[in-house]
Amino acid sequence: MRTFLKWVLRIVLMLVLAAVVVGFWKREEIQRLMAVNSLFAEDKIVHNFSHMDEAFLKVDLPRGDGPTWELPYGPGFDLPEGTDGWIEDRTVTSLLVMQNGQIRFEEYYLDTGPDDRRISWSVAKSYLSSLLGILLAEGAIDSLDDPVTKYAPELEGSAYDGATIRNVLNMASGVTFNEDYLDYDSDINRMGRVLALGGELDDFAASLQDSFTAPGETWQYVSIDTHVIGMVIRGATGRSVAELLTDRILQPLGLEQDGYYVTDGAGVAFVLGGLNFTTRDFARFGQVVLQNGSHNGQQLIPAEWIAEAVAPSAPTETGKIGYGYQWWIPVGAHEGEFLARGVYGQYIYFDQARDVLIVSTGADRNFRDPGVNEENIEMFRKIAQSL
């Protein structure tokens, strides 16, 4: 009996030691997974959205050595009635309003500040669209009607085989993908765990095999479509998205601070939602788009591309919000009214007719409630019209 107990004890000690070794070896992955599992917790979400580099791998987006683009302050104004209640209800963390290139209002909430680099979520998709437009104009990509497999051959045999660049830009790939953030087993949450554990999103995209319709026929918001755009860009140029975005757009902007992309385990940028900048630096990008791609005498983004990208070209339902090339067009939009949008309340709203730009960041855990997006757009309209 004593010999048996010694044997059992030895086995237990070996298992404990193995667990300790594995825990030490995988401690960073375990810490990231724990951080992801509490990323949206009510008591942590505001802090987490300003510290995404504590939960994920990242690559820096250096601002460069050039001068900062100073955003001048114009005359202040009173926000429309009801704005304070909206800010509280929607857990807004920052609100910046610009008109005629001047900051008319800027405020930070819930212990956030102007130096916080906030997560963009899907606002990042609109940045990537702008980069693609630049590369298309440069000739690195031949046509939007090229199949994505021309530049990303690893997608051959996947659900993306047969989809064009235009299809994925329009979120009309036809690929089956569950985007339910509240479902632990949804595709979007499985993708998040791949990201947290250092997996590779290229492999994840190539693993998708099911389609619900032919490419180009139906609009359905599929975030992994944007990753495929990133694969196309990397395949066409042989360079990383982080390098290209920094070179073509970010450094010419004169940002205040370096930004960063969340990345997967291979160092590939999480292009569908992983950008992190200060609110004012989000506004600098927005102001260039508002100015049809020009800044400081330089055409950073082709004006023709911006006009095409923000037109409602996707096959969305009649009477519903429109979609272009990774940009949103509100119901009843007038010419020059469009937006970039991310989950939990991230927005860049454009009203070119009034020369108004609004940046809003948030930590709204109720962002999926019926009518919330419409309420937010109406608030932005009220603010723009009150200037």
pLDDT at 25: 54
pLDDT of residue 93: 98
Per-domain residue ranges for the chain?
Answer: 1-37, 43-386
What was the pLDDT predicted at 187?
Answer: 92
What CATH number was assigned to the domain covering residues 43-386?
Answer: 3.40.710.10
> What would the pLDDT profile of 340-383 be if each residue is shown by its tens digit?
999 999 999 999 999 999 999 999 999 999 999 999 999 999 99
Share of the chain above pLDDT 90, in %: 85
Computed over every residue of the chain, the mean pLDDT equals 93
Which tens digits make up the pLDDT trace of 309-342? 999 999 999 999 999 999 999 999 999 999 999 9
Task: Report pLDDT for 196.
Answer: 84
> Rg of the chain's alpha carbons, rounded to an integer?
22
Low-confidence stretches of the chain (pLDDT < 50) are 22
20 burial level (CB within 10 Å; 0-12, 13-18, 19+) = exposed
Q: Long-range contact list for 108-116, CB < 8 A, 24+ apart?
A: 108/279, 110/46, 110/363, 111/46, 112/46, 112/50, 112/361, 114/278, 114/279, 114/280, 115/257, 115/278, 116/50, 116/278, 116/279
pLDDT score of 195: 87
Residue 249 is predicted with a pLDDT of 98
Structure tokens at 98: 């610009």
Q: What is the pLDDT of residue 38?
A: 85
pLDDT at 18: 52
Distance CA 249, CA 77 (A): 31
